[in-house]
A and B are shown apart, each in its own frame.
Chain A
Amino acid sequence: MIETALFFVFAGLAVLAAASLILQRHPIHSALSLIVVMVSLAALYLLLGAEFIAAVQIIVYAGAIMVLFVFVIMLLNAGAEERTSFSRLARYVGIPAGILLTVQLAYTVARAASEQAHRAPAVEPSSTRNLSLMLFREYVLPFELTSVLILVAILGAVVLARREK
């Protein structure tokens, strides 16, 4: 019972913060909203029993990546943005497309949920040990490929940032 209530609290918080992320005019306020989204998502992971993922979500996203965002915003001293009127393209194509996408997503999730209800949950307790065994045995190739990809990205950033002599 408490779990359900907590789910709605954090899910609602995540949605509200996501809306605020778009609606805020100041970059720092948007960044703060995004941090709230990240932390709410971590709380949702916790409710699902994925403690390790929750902690990593906070450490990596809320703690490291968002600190860099905030750092850059502070460094550039970005001010509040002016609100412009909607572009015509956004009004006549964007809004219907967004509504269509939402309906499709809701339909898919609802269908999946009704199918899921008949099936017994096949989730075993997701300990850190199980997770690492999965990562380093079954999914070791994608895992290592991702690390190489990140390494390439870092090298690219260094090359771009290096001053010409």
Chain B
Amino acid sequence: MSELIAQHPILITSIIKVVVLLALFMTMVAYLSWFERKVVARIQSRWGPYRAGPHGLLQPLADGVKFLMKEDPTPAGVDRFVYFLAPFLALSLALCGVAVIPFGPHDVTIFGQRTHLGVADLSIGLLFLFALTSLGVYGVALGGWSSNSKYPLLGGLRSSAQMVSYELAMTLSVVGVLLAAGTFNLQEIISAQKGHILNWFTFALPFPQIIGFFIFFTAAIAETNRLPFDLAEAETELVAGFHTEYSSFKFAMFFIAEYANMVTASLLASLLFLGGWNSPFPQTASFAWTHYLPSALLAVGGLWLIFDGIRYETVLGKILLPVLGLVGLGAAAVVALDGVREVIQGPFWFVGKAVFFLFFYVWVRGTLPRFRYDQLMAFGWKLLFPLALANVIVTSFVMVLKELR
């Protein structure tokens, strides 16, 4: 075994990276559910979760325990193999996606091995992600079919038709970016947007991909089965859609998969259209102060948490919030260090943009009503798809004209 590791040092670094990334990713996914409930509550003038821990911060933990402890009945007449397979398929495909996403331009050193920030650097990174998305339909469709119940079946049918339709528009919408970058490799796509905000593909000359960006994000919301496109669940019509017959941890697997897909889609949107890890500021000496932004943000957040914690009603909050604030201040100091500051720039901007998209997801959910099914199909096929096609044609013309000049 040790011989094998000595021969392939990439094995050990990969395992470490997978474990760290998975831990961070799952934490992000768990707190995304808290974030969503809080933001939607604020939009609807409610409080949202606030009983489990200060500001409901322990709610994801409580949910996790609840999912594990609940009884898990299997309905009569289900197709057992497919019924058990579906949530596994959904979750594992959703978790694979983040493996190909690169988080920063700088290499880091683990146990003497220099390695980039990301698990796998594929030459077909983007295609790999699309392949995973196209397989992701099966989790929902098979879950709906195998439940032996009419509402899940309808949900599964709807979702498979919807996802095939929107996949087309989504894939076409990134062709403009691919033409500009000339590669499927995600690292190279990000590097092609180097510099400042006007080099990001959404705004970059010769042909800004702002239409492609709009189509991509709309289709991504539909692909992840989120409101206003969550026809597969549609609780006003289909009880709970494809996961009506699932409970306990099998339901949780669908739930986690949905949120993991949201995170991956947000990362991908920021990577393709908003420059990924590139800072919006020009990389010149007069903008060197922007490298302290992560540190400043952490410091302000930490101070606010301490201030808020002192005033908090419960004893737990009085202890937990200031401790979190102190951790934030400590992190701010670490991030300001010379060696760390440059490495953290990439992940900071990248994840920051993704968090903006996640907020956008929740904002849309809190604002827009659900589409009717025929409206959904007409919107995808009659608006998004022709628009994406036109975008491809115009972009290629502009590219050719630029070559000719």
* A contact residues vs B (CB 8 Å cutoff): 26, 28-29, 32, 35, 39, 42, 51-52, 54-56, 58-59, 62-64, 67-68, 70-71, 74-75, 77, 127-128
B157-190 Cβ-contact flags toward A at 8 Å (1 or 0):
1001101100100010000000000001000000
In whole angstroms, how far apart are the Cα atoms of A29 and B167 in the complex? 25
B138 adjacent to chain A (CB < 8 Å): yes
Specify which of A64, A70, A128 is in contact with B124 (CB 8 Å cutoff).
Answer: A128
Whether B184 contacts A67 by the Cβ 8 Å rule is: no
Whether B128 contacts A71 by the Cβ 8 Å rule is: no
Closest to A26 in B: B79
B212 adjacent to chain A (CB < 8 Å): no
Whether B79 contacts A74 by the Cβ 8 Å rule is: no
Supposing A55-B127, A55-B128, A67-B160 touch, asked if A35 and B138 sit within 8 A by C-beta, the answer is: yes
Tell me, rounded to whole Å, the shortest Cβ–Cβ distance linking A151 to chain B: 14
Supposing A32-B82, A74-B156, A128-B184 touch, asked if A67 and B134 sit within 8 A by C-beta, the answer is: yes
Which B residues are in CB contact (< 8 Å) with A128? 123-124, 184
Closest to B157 in A: A74
Specify which of B153, B160, B171 is in contact with A70 (CB 8 Å cutoff).
Answer: B160
Which B residues are in CB contact (< 8 Å) with A77? 153
B213 adjacent to chain A (CB < 8 Å): no
Whether B135 contacts A58 by the Cβ 8 Å rule is: yes
Which A residues are in CB contact (< 8 Å) with B184? 52, 128
Tell me, rounded to whole Å, the shortest Cβ–Cβ distance linking B219 to chain A: 15
Closest to A54 in B: B124
Q: How many A-B residue pairs have CB under 8 A?
A: 77
Supposing A28-B145, A71-B157, A75-B157 touch, asked if A64 and B131 sit within 8 A by C-beta, the answer is: no
Which A residues are in CB contact (< 8 Å) with B82? 28-29, 32
* B contact residues vs A (CB 8 Å cutoff): 79, 81-82, 122-124, 127-128, 130-131, 133-135, 137-138, 141-142, 144-145, 153, 156-157, 160-161, 163-164, 167, 171, 184
Closest to A39 in B: B135
Whether A74 contacts B134 by the Cβ 8 Å rule is: no
Whether A55 contacts B131 by the Cβ 8 Å rule is: yes
What are 27 inter-chain pairs, A to B, with CB distance below 8 A?
A28-B79, A28-B82, A29-B82, A32-B142, A52-B184, A55-B124, A55-B127, A55-B128, A55-B130, A56-B127, A58-B135, A59-B127, A59-B131, A62-B131, A62-B135, A64-B167, A67-B134, A67-B137, A67-B138, A67-B160, A70-B145, A70-B160, A71-B141, A71-B161, A74-B157, A75-B157, A128-B123
By Cβ-Cβ distance, the 4 closest A-B pairs, closest first, are: A63-B134, A55-B127, A58-B131, A51-B124
Which B residues are in CB contact (< 8 Å) with A64? 134, 164, 167
Closest to A52 in B: B124
Whether A59 contacts B145 by the Cβ 8 Å rule is: no
Whether A62 contacts B160 by the Cβ 8 Å rule is: no
Which A residues are in CB contact (< 8 Å) with B171? 59
In whole angstroms, how far apart are the Cα atoms of A51 and B396 in the complex? 25
Tell me, rounded to whole Å, the shortest Cβ–Cβ distance linking A31 to chain B: 10
Whether A52 contacts B153 by the Cβ 8 Å rule is: no
